[in-house]
Amino acid sequence: MDALRTATSAWGAMSIKGRPTIEQAIAVTSRFPVFLAAFHRMRNGLQPLESHPELGHAANYLYLLTGKIPEEQHVKALDAYLVLLADHGMNASTFTARVVASTESDIVSAVVAAIGALKGPLHGGAPSKVQDMLKAIGTIENAENWLRNALARGERLMGFGHRVYKTEDPRAEELRDLAHLADPQEFVLARRVEELALALLKERKPDQRLNTNVEFYSAVLLASVGLPGDLFTPTFAVSRVVGWTAHILEQVSNNRLIRPEADYTGPIQAHFVPLNER
């Protein structure tokens, strides 16, 4: 996320001026996969690649990472993932982007601010931790004991529960099918872990319904198409930048400065203490 934020900011400083436009939104969106793939290759001692003129957005992302034409099922799965997560109401990063846009700043400044918000684990999440959990479990036979022991230690099972949804997230249902498409073999373990985890969570907290969230099968899907864990959240940004830029354009089309009010909750009638008495 740091590399994506910095590359976007540097490119924007040289390339983007004036009021946000649809052309600028397309330019920002198209460069996210390029920046991430270039960073990934350079850190592995490889040269960045030029985009393949015959490949679409999702396929080019995979190509720029590996230098190989990606498999059709991987392209289909990643493309659908990018569509599913492109927008999701007034979430933290989208709100951040709109606040910055409302000050009449440029589109890249608003997007960079949104990246900063998405970087936080309470928003961007930690889908790579789901993959770590599945790797630690290893086999279907080991799944129930591993999950029970984790809960007994007070650990959180990654990929379950949502701050807004009290029913199953419809995106999670679609991601489940996509993960199966991308890698049927890995899906078998993930599906069994999901079933056991939901049953154990219901057993421990019968009054609290926890459902599978988008992180669980996002992790399975992104790993299946060949992405390393530390690119999971940046790839979320590759999707969400479409929503950010759409919100930015909507904000500036009928703009008012966003300035929330705040209620003071500090001490009442506090007395000033001179500096030498503190």
Please give the Cα distance from 101 to 115 (Å, whole number).
Answer: 14
Q: Left (φ > 0), alpha (ψ -120 to 50) or beta: where does 270 sit?
A: beta
Q: Which two tokens stand for residue 215?
A: 């992180």
Please give the Cα distance from 244 to 237 (Å, whole number).
Answer: 9
Select from 40, 32, 132, 11 the least CA-distant residue to 82. 32
- Please confirm, yes or no, whether 203 is among the known catalytic residues: no
In this structure, are residues 108 and 16 in contact, taking their beta carbons and an 8 Å threshold? yes
Q: Which of 74, 180, 194, 215 is catalytic?
A: 215
Q: Which of 123, 162, 174, 186 is catalytic?
A: 162
Please give the Cα distance from 101 to 108 (Å, whole number).
Answer: 10
Q: Which residues pair with 212 in a beta bridge?
A: 160
- Please confirm, yes or no, whether 162 is among the known catalytic residues: yes
Q: Which residues pair with 160 in a beta bridge?
A: 212
Please give the Cα distance from 96 to 114 (Å, whole number).
Answer: 6
Q: Using alpha carbons only, give the angle 137, 143, 144 rounded to the nearest 5 degrees.
A: 145
Q: Which residues are catalytic?
A: 162, 215
